[in-house]
Amino acid sequence: MVTTVPQSQTGTWAQAIAHKAQEFAPIALSALEGTIPNGLRGALYRNGPAFLERAGERVAHWFDGDGGILAVHFADQQAIATYRYVRSAGFLAEEAAGEYLFAGYGMLPKGNWLARLRAEIKNAANTSVLALPDRLLALWEGGMPHALSLDTLETKGLDDLAGLEGASYSAHPKRDPKTGDIFNFGVALGARGVLNLFRSDATGKLQQRSHIFLDGLPLIHDFVLAGRYLIFCVPPVRLNPLPIMLSLQSYCDSLKWQPQKGTEILVVDRDRLELVSRFQVDPWFQWHFSNGCELPDGSVSFALTRYADFQTNEFLREVPQGQIHTVAPSPFWQVRIDPRAGKLLESHKLSGRSGEFPVVNPQEVGQPFRYSYLSLRRQTALAEREMFGAIARFDHQTGQLDEADLGENRYPCEPIYVSDAENPEQGWVLTVVYDGTQHTSELWIFAADNLAGAPHCRLALPEVIPPGFHGTWKPAS
């Protein structure tokens, strides 16, 4: 069932949210404008909640939708696309039942009280992807990754990475471009919170793990690789576990903003996976970081999209309903710390425009960087109650923001930076765009140094791809 929300109430993006994404087999994409760059060789993978309604029941939070994976393979100026759902155990069970059964981030399980107490949490596999040499991982906050075929997107099952032992594996791993090592974390919830730390080799095989005890049960979504350090900013959001254990509240409803606690910054030695320092600063919340690096004076600098409070959670709860009432501004910030002394040195706003999903050139992760690429809200009166309508490049040297405003009723996903295979100095920015006027989806390719100009190429996708979260690029081997 497709529900169309009147445009007078909200943007046309709601049509993509209400739309049940349709899978499609490999298909060659036609160019609507321009040509595919010669040096674009590899595969784009994207993940996001794409199944948001069953039997007339809409999910309670955007984070509850089942993961849908888009793959676009580029070679010889051609693009072949595939789209498939992740066949998690929960997805298959609910497909067979024709209704929602399990608990989720915002969902309570079905059945009587005793049945709800016994119900499992569904691994929605809907947040991000990690491309390994022989498989693709679909990542989610609260469980292990699912392994998929790089070519067909066939789901192979949960992947233990040869040592997770059931531990949660976050949706935001960081790959060191020099060593190939992959760093990640997961939060274990119990009598007290535990931050599990992981280092894998380039194949994904777990090589090292450690843990740090946390203050309460916080929400940690992302972290920063910065030279010799891993940086975690723990916002003052805490989970009350009792209502969840009794199946009286969802995770979403059990998370409370407690600004008196402040934001805690944890600095971890990346080689030993041991705590270097931990200290409190004024409260803020963040979902995502752009990047971080060590500076010549030994300090660490990192950039992030930053919220003053946790209203963003309400904004995201409203998305699957097709109407947004909550305002959650997210300007772009820079923070500099002394990692050894455990001290905040400075923090300041880089841009007042609300944005999200900041990324950098993958070859610069953890290293000094000049540019961040991110999604932005358009400069309109109702922008804060809309989905993102632009992408931009922020120059950390000059403070200049180069913006690609896609126009009315067009909504891009997170921009992905790709290096040209023939000319590494040339970069491309790829984003999946939903056109609410035409009710179609396209893949747009921009020259990274000319986002304010027209796209280099626009490719037509055969089906509407609902707005998603994160993606990655796997260069051709």
Please give the Cα distance from 14 to 201 (Å, whole number): 41
Alpha-carbon distance of 314 to 174, in angstroms, equals: 28
Is 381's pLDDT higher than 70?
A: no
Backbone phi, psi, residue 266, to 5°:
-110, 130
pLDDT in tens, 114-150: 777 777 899 999 999 999 999 999 999 999 999 999 9
**Looking at 117-126, 207-216, 458-467, which range is the least confident one?**
117-126
Q: Which domains does the chain have, with CATH numbers?
A: 13-475 (2.130.10.10)
pTM attached to this predicted model: 0.96
172 assigned to a ligand binding site:
yes
Give the span between the Cα atoms of 11 and 65, in whole angstroms: 20
pLDDT digits (tens, 9 = 90+) for 231-265: 999 999 999 988 888 888 999 999 999 999 999 99
Among residues 67, 12, 16, the alpha carbon closest in space to that of 467 is found at 16
User: Mapping DSSP to helix (H, G, I), strand (E, B) and coil, where does residue 18 land?
Assistant: helix
Ligand-binding site membership of 348 (annotated): no
Instruction: Tell me what pLDDT residue 10 has.
Output: 61
**In 10 A of CB 25, how many CB atoms?**
10
Q: Residue 97 contacts by C-beta under 8 Å, 6 or more apart in sequence?
A: none
The pLDDT confidence band at residue 380, using thresholds 50, 70 and 90, is confident
Residue 288, marked binder: yes
3-state SS class at 362: helix
Whether 211 has a binding-site annotation, put simply, is: no
Residues making up the chain, counted from first to last: 477
Residue 191: other Cβ atoms inside 10 A: 7
The three-class DSSP label of residue 383 is: helix
What is the per-residue pLDDT for 165? 95
Amino acid at 299: S
Residue 89: per-residue pLDDT: 96
Residues of the chain with pLDDT > 90, as a percent, come to 88
Instruction: Work out the percent of the chain whose per-residue pLDDT is above 70.
Output: 98
* 335-348 confidence digits (pLDDT tens): 999 999 999 999 99
